[in-house]
Each structure stands twice: as structure tokens, then as C-alpha cells.
Structure 1
Amino acid sequence: MYFGRIAGTFLLLYYKLIRKQRPFYKLIEKAVFCTRLSTVIWVFVEKYRGVFVQKLKLF
């Protein structure tokens, strides 16, 4: 019972902390999304660069 009360209080404080720092978390999410997007674009460019080079050599 006592442990449950401590855990509940801790969870409440943690939830309030998350609510306060919401923009910060959104910023991290945006940064992660941009990093993933740039990685995908980079992989795409690296993959098709060789194809473009081969086509240029044919001409």
C-alpha cells in the first residue's frame, strides 16, 4: 500500500514534468523525424547515383 502511494506520486510528478516540457519533447520528435528523412533521402541518392553515372557513360 505504502509502495503504491510512492509510485503513484512519482508517476504524477513525472506526468507533470512531461506536460511542462511538452515543447521540448516535440522538438526532439521533429529532430528525429528530420534525421530519418535526411537519411532516407541520402540512401536514395546514394542508390541511384550509380545508375545516373552509368546512363551518362552510355551517352
Structure 2
Amino acid sequence: MKALYNVLFKRTSTFALTIMASVFFFERGVDVASTTIFETVNKGKLWKDIKDKYE
């Protein structure tokens, strides 16, 4: 735990960079998860699933 503090949280600049990186990866994870859930729930109703019928 002390090593983690010394590497990531001791200096304000590395603390801010750690927060920004964490936010970026959290946002990407939520985006991928929500898109996957939406496409799973609406399978067969989305344009990519039915466009062959109309082209």
C-alpha cells in the first residue's frame, strides 16, 4: 500500500494523471458495456439486423 501511495498519490501531478486515466478507462468500460447490453436486448430490431430486407 505504501508503494502505491509513493508511486501514484504522493505528488499532485501523478494523482491528477491517475484520476484522468481512471476516468478514461471507466468511461470506455461503461460505454462498451451499455452498447453491448442495448444491442443484446434489441437484437433483431436494429438497422444492422434488418437492412438486408430493405436494400
Name the counterpart of 2:38: 48
Aligned residue runs from structure 1 range 1-59, under 5 A? 18=10, 21-50=11-40, 51=42, 53-55=43-45, 56-57=49-50
Equivalenced residue count is 40
Tell me the TM-score normalized by structure 2: 0.57
Q: Which has the higher contact order (CA 8 A, sep 6+)?
A: 2
**Structure 1 stretches (4+) deviating beyond 3 angstroms?**
none
Counterpart code for 1:32: S
Tell me the TM-score normalized by structure 1: 0.54
Which ranges of structure 2 fall in alignment gaps of 5 or more residues?
1-5
Which ranges of structure 1 fall in alignment gaps of 5 or more residues?
1-13
Please tell me the root mean square deviation across aligned C-alpha atoms, in Å: 2.4
Which structure is larger by alpha-carbon Rg, 1 or 2? 1
Q: Point out the structure with the larger helix share.
A: 1
